[in-house]
């Protein structure tokens, strides 16, 4: 690979991948629901998918809403798109919705499980109306699908 082509491949920018509360437990509990992949596996999946399209990835996981808000705010200057699994904050957080709306970047909401097959309180998302796309029930492959989608629109 020449230096010129390498520079071109690196030039598409950074995709922020945000994981919310309890997703640090992936692969350690409830495998029948969330599968056996760890958070590190999911982040590597996202990195590989993004690299295949010439993007880099910043991964953030936090159990604290404020940390997630800060990461989304930072994306204004550091990222070109967002993949977000906000976990349970999906169903509660007007603040995360406002942050996503404020940054005006294409964002994809991902849920590992099909939230519509689960409890009623998981059927509503505060985030979906401000996201370009929503992927539910595809397991951790949903993160790859989200990045493929972002790569197609960016």
| Binding window for ligand CA2 (CB under 6 A); candidates: 48-56, 95-103, 112-120, 145-153 | 112-120
| Phi, psi angles (nearest 5°) of residue 50 | -65, -45
34 is catalytic: yes
Q: Does 141 bind ligand CA2 (CB under 6 A)?
A: no
Q: Cα(98)–Cα(105) distance, rounded to whole angstroms?
A: 12
Q: Does 113 bind ligand CA2 (CB under 6 A)?
A: yes
123 is catalytic: no
Q: Does 40 bind ligand CA2 (CB under 6 A)?
A: no
| Phi, psi angles (nearest 5°) of residue 17 | -110, 115
Q: Does 29 bind ligand CA2 (CB under 6 A)?
A: yes
Q: Does 101 bind ligand CA2 (CB under 6 A)?
A: no
Please state the closest distance from residue 18 (CB atom) to ligand CA2, in A.
11
Please state the closest distance from residue 80 (CB atom) to ligand CA2, in A.
23
Q: What is the DSSP string of 30-95?
A: -HHHH-S--HHHHHHHHHHHHHHTT-EEEEEE-S-HHHHHHHHHHHHHH-SEEEEE-GGGGGT-HH
Q: Could you list the residues that contact ligand CA2 (CB under 6 A)?
A: 22-23, 25-26, 29-30, 34, 85, 87-88, 90, 111-113, 115, 122
């Amino acid at each position: 690979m020449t230096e010129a082509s390498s520079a071109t491949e690196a030039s598409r920018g950074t995709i922020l991948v945000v994981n919310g509360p309890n997703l640090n437990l992936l692969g350690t509990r409830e495998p029948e629901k969330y599968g056996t992949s760890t958070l590190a596996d999911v982040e590597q999946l996202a990195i590989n998918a993004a690299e295949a399209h010439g993007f880099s990835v910043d991964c953030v996981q936090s159990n604290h809403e404020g940390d997630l808000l800060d990461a989304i705010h930072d994306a204004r200057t550091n990222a070109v798109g967002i993949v977000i699994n906000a976990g349970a904050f999906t169903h509660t957080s007007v603040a995360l919705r406002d942050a996503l709306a404020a940054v005006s970047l294409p964002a994809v909401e991902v849920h590992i499980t099909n939230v519509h097959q689960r409890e009623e309180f998981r059927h509503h998302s505060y985030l979906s109306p401000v996201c370009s796309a929503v992927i539910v029930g595809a397991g951790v492959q949903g993160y790859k699908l989200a990045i493929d989608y972002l790569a197609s629109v960016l």
